[in-house]
Amino acid sequence: MIQRGGRGQFTRNARSAGGLYGSTRRPPSRRQLLLGALGIGALVLFGFLAFSWFTGGGCSKPYCPSNKDLKAPDGFALVTKIYQLNKSQGAVPQDKQMTVQLPLLQPTTDGRNLNFYRYVASSDTWEPITTALLDAQGKIVSASFDDRPDIMAAMRRQSAAGQVVAYLQHNAPLNKDAVGQITILHTFDFKPASDGTVTGELSTTVKPDASFAFYPVISASLADRGSIPIVAGIFSNAQSRSNHVQQIVKKVNDLQLKGIDIAYLDLPADQRTSFALFIGELAQTLHTQGKMLTVTVPCPLQAQDRIDDGAYDWAALGAAADVLEIAPYRDQSDYRSVVPAVLQYLTGLVNPNKLVLTVSPYATEKAPDGIRTLALTEAMSIASSMAVRTGTDNKLTTNSNVDVVGVNIDKSENLSGLIWQPQTATVAFTYKLNGGRTVWLENFFSIGFKLEFISRFKLGGVAVEDASQNDLLGDIWPALTPFIASGQPILMQPNPADLVPKWTASKGTLDGGQRGSVKWTTPSDPGNYTVDLTLSDGVSLFQNEISVNVQPKDNAAPRTTNPGSTPGTSAN
């Protein structure tokens, strides 16, 4: 049982019996290897190496096909022959960046997860060099880099799901289940300054290694007060925009990064052209240095007769950036109708391989005044809020029949209780605070029905809005792990019996409870007692407790406490 500090009696148990998919990850074999460091190799500073197949005679090129019998490591596949440095041709200049072009063993249109690797004989391992770019004909991969490996080849990391992107707040720890799964890590470390420079410090909690590419985020949004006007000022003219590009590139080089992510959200529509020009210029400058650019973009909205993408020209952004990551669409009430329409629109503008759909471990609450996100434990604390109803005399005495109510799940008050909503493919509940609210929970079940859109539209992968090690959030990795391995989502609904409230009392008897309230016959002896309510989202168990003081029948009104109540509820 996971105890939640500072939340009264509210606790969360590990798992309910409700159909949670379990998977076992096998440890990788023979790999001390450093996996796919994604650094883009694009335009050339010194383009003098070109590779081709050779027919007859000796090889006179700097690199030649090797006769060494080397295998790709587990989880990888060779997409080119293995090449060896032709030392008879003399030393390759070390002060120049070279361009490498290798023909593929088989033509392909899938440019995902392709990288150049060097073979290290001393440890019998392969180490990454940089990303391999697929040409328009799907026959050649190329890159620009400084290394002069003795033996190299291009390989594909075999992830059926494509890119697996993890977002982390500054210095947050990575979820243990994400280790070995992700291909790109984004940490929210930097923000734009009014003079075009970039402020902030690089996260140090997660140590980058070659199993994933590390591209920190430069972010601006309405949630960060004042940042959107700063961006607007930077975009006000071409000179300040170009200065911002150069300051970003300087930051990337000063920190020896392989790439950067831009997340300028909530821009007004009049910034559409400026933002597209900014991304185009930044991408070109980074690519000439062999760097990667990813862009986090708000999910477009569905207007009455069209898709409204506001300040974001997806066609232009997709032509410039290497990956476009679609930020979460929050309103779960129409998610399953809006998101497919949006993806249909976007895949008509951008190569689907460049599009990554973001899922979230946060619950969502919709109220008359808007939508907010909240931790799963906060949502379940609201759902399990309790009160005692003692009647008109407001007394709680021995041998009495009283109602103990889950105030936010009581179906006698026309509330839904915890239910599976087929139309939203989530576990949800409604409650009455300030005009009425609906809460949708994200967990193993709901995420599966979001991942299905990735395979349906053949997108380039999945991103996780918050991939931190945080037990307060929904545990969505049991759904992600099999999807990463197979590329296919698991579409399951929770066991309806798991969503039924469970009640216990320290003494006395209970009757009913399935509809969100229970009849409690108080003990014959006065004293302090507790009544517990246990709820499940179909995966985990959450418990709340109310403490009551039962008086002899001739005493005054009882003292009651309700440590698990939320604002707007009370114990009576």
pLDDT number for residue 482:
92
The two three-digit tokens of residue 364, written as one number: 């969502």
Q: What is the pLDDT of residue 562?
A: 52
H or E element, residue 421? strand 419-421
Domains, the chain, with CATH or none: 8-24+381-420+495-561 (2.60.40.10), 63-157 (no CATH), 163-374+437-486 (3.20.20.80)
**Whole-number pLDDT of residue 54:** 34
Q: In this predicted model, what pLDDT tens digit does every residue of 403-423 receive, in sequence order?
A: 999 999 999 999 999 999 999
Task: Give every CB contact of residue 436 below 8 A, 6+ residues apart in sequence.
Answer: 367, 368, 430
Model pLDDT for residues 57-83, shown as the tens digit of each residue: 467 777 899 988 898 876 678 999 999
Start-to-end CA span in the chain (Å): 29
pLDDT of 106-154, one tens digit each?
A: 998 777 678 888 898 888 888 878 878 888 888 999 888 777 889 999 9
The average pLDDT across 447-475 equals 96
Q: Is 388 helix (H, G, I), strand (E, B) or coil?
A: strand
pLDDT at 98: 75
pTM of structure: 0.75
Per-residue confidence (pLDDT) for residue 210, from 0 to 100: 67
User: Of 11-20, 44-53, 152-161, 272-281, where does the model show the most confidence?
Assistant: 272-281
Question: What pLDDT is recorded for position 11?
Answer: 52
The answer to whether residues 459 and 343 touch, using CB atoms and an 8 Å cutoff, is yes
Give the number of other Cβ atoms within 10 Å of residue 231's Cβ. Answer: 24
pLDDT value at position 31?
Answer: 32
- Is 86 exposed, middle or buried, given 0-12, 13-18 or 19+ CB atoms closer than 10 A? middle
